[in-house]
Amino acid sequence: MWDRFSQPPGPATPEPPLAMPDLRAHRTGNTGVPYVWRFEAKGEGPHVAVVALMHGNEPCGAVALDRLLRRGLRPARGTWTLAFANTDAAAGGRLFGPAGTPARYLDRDMNRLWAGVRAEVPARGPPPVYPQGREQARVAAIAPWILTADLLLDLHSMQVPSPALTLCGRSPRARALAVALADPGWVVADDGHADGMRLIDHPRFSAPGSAAAAILMECGQHSAPAAGVQAWRGLIRFLAQSETLDAATARTLLAEANAPATPAKPTVVDVTHVIQAETDEFAFVKQFQGLERIAVGGTLLALDGKRALHTPYDDCVLVMPTRTPRRGQTTVRLGRIV
């Protein structure tokens, strides 16, 4: 008779792709702004904000916030603001009836629109005009709720099946936060994008005189079930690190998720080059997935029209290569392990 522990494993059933949760239950919010929730504990503590769906086709953050809200978790001290950002893009631009296919954005990339955004609620009067479209209007609506945070986590996923990583910009405070979380195990310090400011680079979080800090977690490939698991673990560790989530509850939740109580020390990459495609013919010489370490400087990475792109130094790390880059887009970042 077969012992059940000695049986060979059966054929693995592929997990279904990570799906967008049903967001209708979260629409009302409790702030007057749809899909924005705030919970305040009696005990003093920091204001902590978590953003999901900055890009409408990245369900992992929505999966994590949906779980937090459905479980009825609340801060033990301080304040939580939980925001589903680009819900219109997540619904494929359909405001009524069944949702369409989730889109990254409808008019403009919401994570390039944060320069000059203020936390103030707009004064009463004629409704402001948002020439850049629906994302700019939504940024103005949620800004007063999240640009007042002391600590902010922005949950994203990637086009490529790269290991998860945390982007911390150039702020030493954000870098220390990402290293302290240590999950994901890669921390990437970078300058953001030439084509517009990310939320984590807003002066609220990046100015030398500010005490606030914001990080952007890239939890895995958009539809990978592991991205949902990473977003949940990252969220719990972030809330625990801020001491707004009760420590015993955090331990229980991490144990439930089979996550180690203390993750290993993370690897930190300092981005030295941000490569933009100069032509629509940009093509990598092979399919990179991200976080490869290229041992020898001068190794050919890609062709971009007549231009050849080589690694600028030995032991160069590739961060988030894009599958089908277009002219003017960031195609890959290059960095050194520090």
DSSP assignment string, 123-146: PSSSPPP-TT-HHHHHHHHHHHHH
Residue 201 or 304: which CB sits closer to Zn ion? Answer: 201
- How many angstroms separate the CA atoms of 311 and 293, rounded? 10
Give the nearest distance from C-beta 285 to Zn ion in angstroms.
26
Give the nearest distance from C-beta 159 to Zn ion in angstroms.
9
DSSP state of 120: S
# of chain residues touching Zn ion (CB under 5 A): 3
Nearest residue to Zn ion by CB is: 156
Give the nearest distance from C-beta 126 to Zn ion in angstroms.
33
Place of tokens 């049986």: 7
Residue 200 or 236: which CB sits closer to Zn ion? Answer: 200
**Part in contact with Zn ion (CB under 5 A); list of ranges 17-25, 152-160, 232-240, 256-264:** 152-160
Which of 55, 288, 269 is CA-nearest to residue 166? 269
User: In this structure, which amino acid lies at residue 280?
Assistant: D
Residue 73 or 168: which CB sits closer to Zn ion? Answer: 168
Q: Which residues in the 12-41 window bind Zn ion by CB under 5 A?
A: none
Q: Which two tokens mark 28?
A: 């009302």
Structural contact between residues 80 and 244, judged by C-beta atoms closer than 8 angstroms: yes
Q: Which residues in the 265-294 window bind Zn ion by CB under 5 A?
A: none
55 near Zn ion (CB under 5 A):
yes
**Part in contact with Zn ion (CB under 5 A); list of ranges 52-60, 169-177, 200-208, 303-311:** 52-60
Give the nearest distance from C-beta 91 to Zn ion in angstroms.
17
Residue 138 or 156: which CB sits closer to Zn ion? Answer: 156
Which of 263, 137, 112, 122 is CA-nearest to residue 192? 112
Q: Which residues in the 85-144 window bind Zn ion by CB under 5 A?
A: none
Distances (CA, A) of 114 to 57, 109, 140, 145, 195: 19, 10, 9, 14, 11
Cβ atoms < 10 Å from Cβ of 160 = 19
Query: Which is it for the CA torsion 108, 111, 112, 116, positive or negative?
Result: positive
Give the nearest distance from C-beta 226 to Zn ion in angstroms.
16
What phi, psi does 95 have (nearest 5°)? -90, -20
Give the nearest distance from C-beta 140 to Zn ion in angstroms.
20
Residue 26 or 198: which CB sits closer to Zn ion? Answer: 198
**Part in contact with Zn ion (CB under 5 A); list of ranges 41-49, 50-58, 164-172, 226-234:** 50-58
Among 26, 138, 156, 237, binds Zn ion (CB under 5 A): 156
Residue 227 or 253: which CB sits closer to Zn ion? Answer: 227
**Part in contact with Zn ion (CB under 5 A); list of ranges 51-59, 137-145, 180-188, 323-331:** 51-59
Instruction: Put residue 202 in one of left, alpha, beta given phi > 0 → left and psi -120 to 50 → alpha.
Output: beta
Structural contact between residues 132 and 37, judged by C-beta atoms closer than 8 angstroms: no
Residue 63 or 309: which CB sits closer to Zn ion? Answer: 63
Residue 156 or 175: which CB sits closer to Zn ion? Answer: 156
- How many angstroms separate the CA atoms of 317 and 327, rounded? 23
**Part in contact with Zn ion (CB under 5 A); list of ranges 42-50, 124-132, 153-161, 251-259:** 153-161
Q: Which two tokens mark 178?
A: 């990402």
Give the nearest distance from C-beta 279 to Zn ion in angstroms.
24
Which of 108, 218, 229 is CA-nearest to residue 159? 218
Q: Which residues bind Zn ion (CB under 5 A)?
A: 55, 58, 156
